[in-house]
Structure 1
Amino acid sequence: MNVSNQTITLSHPVITEEVSEAILGPRRKQVGLFGGTFNPIHNGHLIMAEAVGTQLGLKQVCFMPDNQPPHVDHKAAIPAKHRLAMLEAAIHDNPLFGLELCELQRGGVSYSYDTLVALKKLHPDTDYYFIIGADMVNYLPKWYRIDDLVKLVTFVGVKRRGYAPQSPYPILWVDAPLIEISSTEIRQRVAAGQSIRYLVPEPVRAYIEKEGLYLDAN
């Protein structure tokens, strides 16, 4: 009996994310952290976060409001409930954005080192990218336990005109549209009765007006 040789072609199996994780283990998540007082959040913050998240392909960019910033030049901030409400209003329609509230929940002075230690314990499968403007890079040597902090997180510096993209610490530099808006300017404009339309998201502008915030500039 003659048996003819037959070639059997197998189609490539579809490797789902679940199958991949079962074989290789869970994939690490890349999450951006954008810390600040956000007093208030404005369109410049949102543009910066969007640029970093999309350029680096991050799973999410989490806005992380501080409870009490450790700055020497302390800036009086309105109650956290207002800053948080404005953040929620500003980011609700962007699936890339999220919130990280650990510093508000912990209370006290918000040291980034303490925050990253806590987050790494809670989420050992996550790589964090700490987003800062180029103007803040020069202050890194003054940050609490900076030499230990750089071992826990990747710093992402957003380039800005007038600031050289250089640092004694490892920085991942990205470009973003330059929008000259500051929270200080917004507070001053509100106190002076000037318009802040198009400087902040419309829901944030409406919230500031409804709650009577920033009528006294600080």
Structure 2
Amino acid sequence: MKIGLYFGSFNPIHTGHLIIANHVAYNTDLDKVWLVVSPHNPLKSSSSLLNEHHRFHLVELAVEGESRLRASNIEFSLPRPSYTVDTLAYLSEKFPTQEFAIIMGSDSFQNISRWKNYMHIVQHYPIYVYRRPGHEIEPMYGVKILDAPLLDISSTVIRQHVKDGKSIKYLVPDNVQQYILENGYYR
């Protein structure tokens, strides 16, 4: 089985993330897509992060009933900060019969040279890159470049809307919206 790992803080997960994950799951040779909730991205500030277990639960709600998508909290038990190369090594050891690949936007791919042991990653794992406007990429390292449907939605805007008491309907799945509001997240 070939599993695509879509890493993110998912703070919170939104419709844009889900459209990309679903598109990749059904329009590539990947069998499943795991949405891997990162406790803390070493390249991002953690000050506005909702607790990782809450973010993971929101991802679980978002992918409920979708057979090809799965929420993963695999990085919660690994040393912090989490580095993709370490997560891949751990998963490859824990699930030796699975083949793992990485899914990322062209904006993230432009920073791949800043990743820990990035040459090991590009040499040993398939990478699926979906284009993002303003972040053109050249095919290199054998990456598979995808044109996934994109929505210009950001978790930052969603957090601000919640804080300002504005609606986030249609930006996140209904069950995610309900859970965020019921629990007072991002206020």
Shorter-chain TM-score tier: over 0.9
CA deviation after TM superposition for structure 1 residue 154, in Å: 1.0
Alignment of 1:129 with 2:125, yes or no, is no
Find the residue that maps to 1:186 and give its secondary structure.
Answer: helix
Alignment of 1:110 with 2:77, yes or no, is no
The normalised TM-score by structure 2 is 0.94
Matches within 5 A, 1:38-53: 38-53=10-25
The separation in 2 between residues aligned to 1:100 and 1:199, in whole angstroms, is 22
Q: Quick one: which of 137, 149, 160 aligns to 1:165?
A: 137
The separation in 2 between residues aligned to 1:107 and 1:191, in whole angstroms, is 32
Q: Quick one: which of 21, 30, 40 aligns to 1:68?
A: 40
- Counterpart of 1:212 in structure 2 is 184
- Counterpart of 1:20 in structure 2 is none
- Structure ID, larger Rg: 1
The separation in 2 between residues aligned to 1:169 and 1:36, in whole angstroms, is 22
Alignment of 1:56 with 2:28, yes or no, is yes
The separation in 2 between residues aligned to 1:99 and 1:213, in whole angstroms, is 19
Find the residue that maps to 1:64 and give its secondary structure.
Answer: strand
Equivalent residues of 1:137, 1:167 under 8 A apart = no
| Residue identity opposite 1:38 in structure 2 | F
- Quick check: 56-65 or 110-119, which moved more? 56-65
**Identity rate, percent:** 33
- Counterpart of 1:189 in structure 2 is 161
The separation in 2 between residues aligned to 1:158 and 1:190, in whole angstroms, is 28
Instruction: Count matched residues.
Output: 186
Find the residue that maps to 1:190 and give its secondary structure.
Answer: helix
Find the residue that maps to 1:85 and give its secondary structure.
Answer: helix
Equivalent residues of 2:123, 2:141 under 8 A apart = no
| Residue identity opposite 2:45 in structure 1 | H
CA deviation after TM superposition for structure 1 residue 99, in Å: 2.5
Matches within 5 A, 1:135-146: 135-146=107-118
Equivalent residues of 2:42, 2:82 under 8 A apart = yes
Matches within 5 A, 1:27-42: 29-42=1-14
- Counterpart of 1:153 in structure 2 is 125
Find the residue that maps to 2:181 and give its secondary structure.
Answer: helix
Equivalent residues of 1:117, 1:152 under 8 A apart = no
CA deviation after TM superposition for structure 1 residue 167, in Å: 5.3
- Counterpart of 1:9 in structure 2 is none
| Residue identity opposite 2:46 in structure 1 | K
Structure 1 residues without counterparts, runs of 5 or longer: 1-28
The normalised TM-score by structure 1 is 0.81
